[in-house]
Amino acid sequence: MNILIGTILLAIGAATMLRHLSRTQPDALPDIFTRTKQTTTFMVPRIFAGLIGAGFLAALLPVDQVERFFGESAGVTGVLFATLLGALTPGGPFVAFAIGASALKAGAALAPLMAYVTAWCIFNFNRALAYEMSFMGRRFTAIRHIVSLPVPIILGCLLLVI
């Protein structure tokens, strides 16, 4: 259902843009269609490979037991571990929030919880594999992940000291 709504909204957006361009710069249209065809051809095999691969990897990760780990290691180690778990938690718009909520009920500390949720927001490997690599390329994806790496660790450690 979500896909349908998103598709319709994007299609309306694209159609509006194209209509506007067909009036203002009609000679740009063939160029736009060529680019769209090239980029789509580039992306389709990557989207399929990324989604299927991420689906298999997600099935191999025992994320349903993630919340058990929050209480086991404290301090900086706990924050680093939570960051790793967050990065490995597969996609969906809310998976890590749901896991974070049950971890909180089970008595998780604030610092690892924050590191976990933030790491998932940043890294979410399904999204990175299927979408970010396809749309933005390997280089952009790698650079964003490298510069973002400290963020969940900084947030977690900040909450350890305040």
Partner 1 sequence: MTGMAKNSTLPGSSTPRKLVDGSLIFLIALGVAGAIGVWFLKGPDVFWQILGHEVVFAAALMPKIVAGVLIASALPFLISRDRITAAIGPESGWRGLAIAAAAGAIIPGGPSVTYPLALGLMAAGADLGAGIAIVSGWVLLGLNRTLIWELSFLPADIVALRFVLCLPFPILLGLATRKLWKDFAP
Site for partner 1 in 98-157 (CB under 8 A): 98, 100-101, 104, 110, 113-114, 117-118, 121-122, 124, 127, 129-133, 135-140, 143-144, 147-148, 151, 155
Give the span between the Cα atoms of 45 and 41, in whole angstroms: 8
| Least distance in angstroms from the C-beta of 37 to partner 1 | 9
Cβ atoms of 131 and 46 within 8 Å: the answer is: no
Q: Residues, the chain, total? A: 162
Candidate residues 46, 63, 73, 153; the one interacting with partner 1 per rule CB under 8 A = 46
40 binds partner 1 per the rule CB under 8 A:
yes
The CB-of-69 to partner 1 minimum distance in angstroms stands at: 18
Contact region with partner 1 (CB under 8 A), list: 24-32, 68-76, 80-88: 24-32
Q: Report how far residue 116's alpha carbon sits from residue 70's, in angstroms, rounded to the nearest whole number.
A: 9
Does residue 3 belong to the site contacting partner 1 (CB under 8 A)? yes
126, burial (CB in 10 Å: exposed 0-12, middle 13-18, buried 19+): buried
Residue 28 sits in the site that holds partner 1 (CB under 8 A): yes
7 binds partner 1 (CB under 8 A): yes
* Alpha-helical runs (H) found in the chain: 2-24, 29-60, 75-88, 95-105, 110-123, 125-127, 133-148, 150-161
Asked if 53 is part of the footprint of partner 1 (rule: CB under 8 A), the reply reads yes
Q: CA–CA separation, 118 vs 127, rounded Å? A: 15
CB of 161 to partner 1, least distance (A): 13
Could you give the 3-state DSSP secondary structure of residue 76?
A: helix
# of chain residues touching partner 1 (CB under 8 A): 75
**Under rule CB under 8 A, residue 63 binds partner 1:** no
